[in-house]
């Protein structure tokens, strides 16, 4: 199963989650930042996982650029997709929503098949660090994705 994990990261927390996901999946996986990915990376992908920090209730501009420009030029028909974000634990953040649902909606609108509910991973403050246990939770989520894909 050819897998691509694409992420955008502001303070490094989302990058750590993406790498944990990639390591848990193991073989035939690429983990790339939105600035390093191109439409050719999407060719013959079986599984696309995309993640971003929640930025004002939305994905970051880098992730939005990936979704609107790079993914837009590719067909995700037949591709399984999943989405994640990093987010604050503060209650007020819920007012604006989270990036993962918007990422998932965008991937589905472009033909992808969502195979698991979008997931949020928590940071203790705007700049982080990640809340304890989040890297392990990300690895567990990745394994659940793989088992749902089979």
Domain 3-149 = CATH 3.40.50.360: yes
Mean pLDDT of 116-125: 95
Please give the model's pTM, rounded to 2 decimal places.
Answer: 0.95
Q: What is the C-alpha to C-alpha distance for residues 120 and 56, in angstroms, rounded to an integer? A: 15
Q: What is the C-alpha to C-alpha distance for residues 106 and 100, in angstroms, rounded to an integer? A: 10
E strand intervals along the chain? 3-7, 29-33, 47-53, 80-88, 113-114, 119-123
Report whether pLDDT(81) > 90.
Answer: yes
Report whether pLDDT(91) > 80.
Answer: no
């Amino acid at each position: 199963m050819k897998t691509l994990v694409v992420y955008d990261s502001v303070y490094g927390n989302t990058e750590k989650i993406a790498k944990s996901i990639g390591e848990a999946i193991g073989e035939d996986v690429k983990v790339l930042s939105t600035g390093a990915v191109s439409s050719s990376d999407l060719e013959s992908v079986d599984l696309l996982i995309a993640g971003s920090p929640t930025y004002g209730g939305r994905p970051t501009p880098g992730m939005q650029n990936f979704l609107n420009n790079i993914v837009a030029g590719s067909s995700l028909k037949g591709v399984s997709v999943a989405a994640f974000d990093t987010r604050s634990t503060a209650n007020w953040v819920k007012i604006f929503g989270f990036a993962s649902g918007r990422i998932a909606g965008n991937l589905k609108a472009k033909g992808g098949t969502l195979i698991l509910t979008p997931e949020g991973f928590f940071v203790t403050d705007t700049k982080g660090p990640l809340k304890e246990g989040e890297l392990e939770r990300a690895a567990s989520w990745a394994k659940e994705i793989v088992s749902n894909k089979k």
